[in-house]
Amino acid sequence: MEAAQAALRDGFHQYTRPAGHPALAQVLARRYSRHLHRDVAPMEEVAVTVGASQALYLTLQALLNPGEEVLLLEPAFDLYYGQIRLAGGVAVPVPLSVDGAVWSLDIAALEASVTERTKLLVLNSPHNPTGKTFSADEMEAIAALVRRHPNLRVISDEVYKYTVYAGEPHTHFAALPGMFDRTVTLSSAGKTFSITGWQAGWCVGPAELIKPIQLLLPFVQFCVSTPMQEALARVLDLADEPYDGHPSYYAWLTDMYRRKRGILESGLRRAGLVAMEGQGGFFLMADTSALTVPDEYLSEKTPAAPDGVTRDWALCRWLAKEAGVIAIPASPFFSPANKRLGANYVRFAFCKADETLIEAAARIEALAARQ
């Protein structure tokens, strides 16, 4: 907020460069040069967008031709499906395997899903909705698959990269051998600084893949808000400095989310839910099989679901109406053919005040005790 106010006072009120405010493009290039272990050119290999959602939209529009296929690891962020359709593409779902409370990459299933029409793979780590962070071994297995298929490109969605609070550190997929030239890396500042309303995201990658995105930008939004970009140019490096007793703001952030997940997880377990493993982001997927959803919710019909709701939707309506707790059903994160895989899962967000998490868990526990 202080950086934004300073940018406004300093007069950053006019249009800036459509492909990205020069000051921010230079900061991003410098930072990603460290992340990716190569020199990133600020004017040719960075594009600043209206949030990561627009970064994804423009990348798909620029790189995808009608009828080409996009591999999605399911469950997947529901925005992906609609944006692939808007670009004329076909989403090809590849479910993650589940062993107990652990989500894992099924590399054989992923390989088997590649066809002559496959153009893109969307890789999201840390992963929404599961909170899974793909391990270095899983990332290398994906990179090996990409090397075997010369026409395949990768969209690496890394908006939660500064929220890895458990397991291995975040792996920048484009930093793996040979992957920079095959990858568009997407990220944003919204989740990192709790400023989702600022709507500032970016794409980083080789000029061959970034140039088409830069050319599209002025046709959809002449530029991202100039004062917001100037503020981020000042803040991204500032956050590397010590903050509130931690080595950096980023370290403080991961410690905070580690603690908040622990609060929610312990409460859900007391209610009989199984907290699925997660290492990043601020979502917790829970297996709700132990809860019995009342029949009146399972048989309920709504204008959006005239034939009746799925179990996960019914459970979330039950939680909302009876306990005043809002959770997200898992089935929208699956393609129609795989919606059954989400029947017992719901997604909780723990980017809330500690008091809110404690109260929510207590309400769920009380509701479960009434069964």
Q: Kindly report the CATH number assigned to the domain that includes residue 216.
A: 3.40.640.10
* Amino acid 306: pLDDT: 64
Which string of DSSP letters, residue by residue, matches 322-344? II----EESGGGS-GGGGGGGTT
DSSP state of 162: G
* Amino acid 271: pLDDT: 92
C-alpha of 208 from chain center? 25
* Amino acid 303: pLDDT: 76
Q: Indicate whether 132 belongs to any domain.
A: yes
CB atoms within 10 A of CB 360: 23
Spell out, as residue ranges, where the chain has pLDDT lower than 50.
Answer: none
- Residue 307 amino acid letter: D
The answer to whether the pTM exceeds 0.75 is yes
Domain edge (last residue) among 192, 218, 238: 238
Q: Indicate whether 47 belongs to any domain.
A: yes
Same domain, yes or no: 225 and 261: no
Q: Which residue has the tokens 């591999």?
A: 71
Provide the residue range defining the domain that includes 338. Answer: 249-369
* Amino acid 301: pLDDT: 78
Query: Which residues, listed in sequence order, are joined to residue 41 by a DSSP beta bridge?
Result: none
* Amino acid 209: pLDDT: 98
